[in-house]
Amino acid sequence: MPINTYHRFLTWVGIVGAATTFVGATLAEPPPGAAPATVPVLAPVATLASATASADALPLDDLRTFAEVYERIKDDYVEGVKDKILLESAIRGMLSGLDPHSSYLDKDEYREIQVGTTGEFGGLGIEVGIDDGFVKVISPIDDTPAQRAGLQAGDLITHIDDKPVKGLALNEAVNLMRGKPGTEIRLTIMRGTEGRPLEVKVLREIIHVASVKSRTLEPGFGYVRLTHFQARTTEDMRTAIEALKKENNREIKGLILDLRNNPGGVLNAAVGVSDAFITDGLIMYTQGRQPDSKLQFKAGPDDVLGGAPLVVLVNGGSASASEIVAGALQDHKRALIMGTQTFGKGSVQTIVPIDDTTALKLTTARYYTPSGRSIQAQGIAPDVVLERGEFKPNQEPEVGPVKESDLRRHLDAPPPAGDAKSGDDKKTLATEDFQLGEALNVLKGLTILGRAKGDGSAH
């Protein structure tokens, strides 16, 4: 390889080193393909001198091999390739070889990550990542085309409109799934419970994500669902709980916090949601190689439920920020975690701008629960394992035992006192969402237990 090409390559490395000396705010990044965390705040943290010093320590033999491959492609590839394309591909390759969450952000991707916390974007309403070369569904977002089409967490997308996705970069697959609202897309998926591929048709639309939903399940028992962690999630959740208190004469006997299929989002929102129920101590911390990647978050003195029992529902689609909340509440013994093992996304991504239009998304730290448990690749194990199921009421036999009501001239039952609909509501809840119905039963048991102890707590 010509010496001048090698020297030109080393010069290019030095330029890149100098260009990446600005770092953004540390983010709690969701699973691959999920909505991004926050707009980065630029702050200079290094100098050209430090970049040059690091270049002196570069492995020259390996760089020489790289430069030789680069030159061979330039000279012998069947078609001419621009330097910009080759160098950008090299950067993408370096980052993709690290972990599933580190990546290069081009102009469009960088702009998207800067506006990703607004709660509005176009597409199918599906959080995705890469698994063995296929696009894996992390979770469908509530009230979106993906959920209505029946997509489930864990589904593997093998084809998009008959085009194989094997070997495509995640951003390439995502771009194929995007399109004009109102247009249809066909996805071929593999599902663990099915023995053959399934074809799902989804109609694209503008996605508006409301991160907090709430309702009263039964008098005194509230339900709050968090679909995503956005900048306003903590504030919206507190507002929703206040509304539930007003509906129930200022008394909340217990609350179910539903984090199923919540792929994560903004770190500060996860900390704020945890802080709403914890009155003291550590919520979570991060650890990395650089000093500014070591962070601790502690709880304030208030509890929005006043110590009332709390049940948290999780599943394999609960990731990142959801796992922070579940882990913190579990370690503090503030809530009973029910459901299935969570996703296990416990790493922190930092946005590192290269220039005004491009950036790196680089994994810089790991999350830890207050007790020091790492979430990464392990997830949060529920206190009570509750698999997905289906509730089917027993059917009455055609010929059953004789009852009082079957006797001639029997006395009629007196009219029921109070609200007679609670039994029907419970049956309906168990039928429409088995896990939620079981969680409500457990929550009632915790309330009775707390009442027997005389403190009303869930401990």
Cα 277 to Cα 157: distance, rounded to the nearest angstrom: 38
Q: What is the mean pLDDT of residues 162-177?
A: 87
Q: Are 214 and 223 in contact (CB under 8 A)?
A: yes
Set 274, 331, 347, 361: catalytic member: 331
Q: What percent of the chain has pLDDT over 90?
A: 55
* pLDDT at residue 35 tops 50: no
210-259 pLDDT, tens per residue? 789 999 999 999 999 999 898 899 999 999 999 999 999 988 999 999 99
Cα 181 to Cα 197: distance, rounded to the nearest angstrom: 26
Of 3-7, 181-185, 205-209, 322-326, highest mean pLDDT? 322-326
Alpha helix (H) residue ranges in 20-140: 48-56, 60-76, 83-96, 107-114
Q: Are 345 and 136 in contact (CB under 8 A)?
A: no
Nearest-CA neighbor of 34 among 366, 262, 327, 270? 262
Confidence of residue 44 (pLDDT cuts 50, 70, 90): very low
Q: Are 173 and 187 in contact (CB under 8 A)?
A: no
Specify whether 102 is catalytic. no
Q: What is the mean pLDDT of residues 29-39?
A: 39
Which one has a higher pLDDT value, 107 or 289?
A: 289
Q: What percent of the chain has pLDDT over 70?
A: 76
389-412 pLDDT, tens per residue? 665 555 555 555 666 776 766 677
Set 345, 347, 361, 433: catalytic member: 345
99-150 pLDDT, tens per residue? 988 999 988 888 777 655 445 566 898 888 888 888 999 888 888 899 999 9
Specify whether 320 is catalytic. yes
Please state the pTM of the whole predicted model.
0.70
Which DSSP letter does residue 265 get? B
pLDDT of 396 reads 56
Confidence of residue 62 (pLDDT cuts 50, 70, 90): very high
Mean pLDDT value across the chain: 82
Q: Domains in the chain and their CATH numbers?
A: 3-114 (no CATH), 121-208 (2.30.42.10), 212-349+366-385 (3.90.226.10)
pLDDT of 2 reads 54
Confidence of residue 283 (pLDDT cuts 50, 70, 90): very high
Q: What is the mean pLDDT of residues 63-80?
A: 94
pLDDT of 324 reads 97
Q: What is the mean pLDDT of residues 325-345?
A: 97
Specify whether 406 is catalytic. no
Q: How many Cα atoms are found within 13 Å in the side-chain-facing hemisphere of 220?
A: 10
Q: Which of 315-324, 340-349, 443-452 has the lowest mean pLDDT?
A: 443-452
Set 214, 274, 320, 347: catalytic member: 320
Cα 160 to Cα 176: distance, rounded to the nearest angstrom: 7
Chain centroid to CA 436 = 20
Kind and range of the H or E run holding 205:
strand 205-208
Q: Which of 51-55, 162-166, 366-370, 382-386 has the lowest mean pLDDT?
A: 51-55
